[in-house]
Amino acid sequence: MAKISSIAFRVHNMDAMVAFYSEAFHMEFREVDTYGIRSQFGDVGGITLKFVPIRESDDFKSFPIHQPGFVVTDVETVIELARKHGGSQEGQTVRAEGKTQAAVRDPDGNTIELYSA
């Protein structure tokens, strides 16, 4: 049976991305040399999240957008942390049957789905 071991993001705003994901999802990152590129690796639920810097600013214009989903303790707190680090909320927060869901943009513009625990 297959299982995901890692997900790599091409990152433009490394400091803001590491700060946001560290605060919002309680991830601890470590610097890793990935074939001469200084990347940041963190762990979320047993999956390695790899932030690999984009080498040229022109690369940022057409890089792929990612859309992970996270189950979190407090959706509203993550929305505020996204704003604090240069992200934004996408659409409205939905509350139904005791659950909350929302979407935010991280500092690089990736959409993140948020679901209450």
Question: Would you state the pLDDT for residue 113?
Answer: 86
Strand partners, 93: none
- Summarize pLDDT for 20-75 with one digit per residue, the tens: 999 999 999 999 998 788 999 999 999 999 998 876 666 556 665 677 888 999 99
| Nearest CA among 84, 112, 89, 113 for reference residue 99 | 113
* pLDDT tier, 102 (very low <50, low <70, confident <90, very high otherwise): very high
Question: Would you state the pLDDT for residue 55?
Answer: 65
Looking at domain 6-116, what is its CATH homologous superfamily? Answer: 2,3-Dihydroxybiphenyl 1,2-Dioxygenase, domain 1 (3.10.180.10)
Task: State percent of the chain over pLDDT 90.
Answer: 58
Q: Is the pLDDT of residue 12 over 90?
A: no
State the residue for tokens 């993140």.
Answer: 112
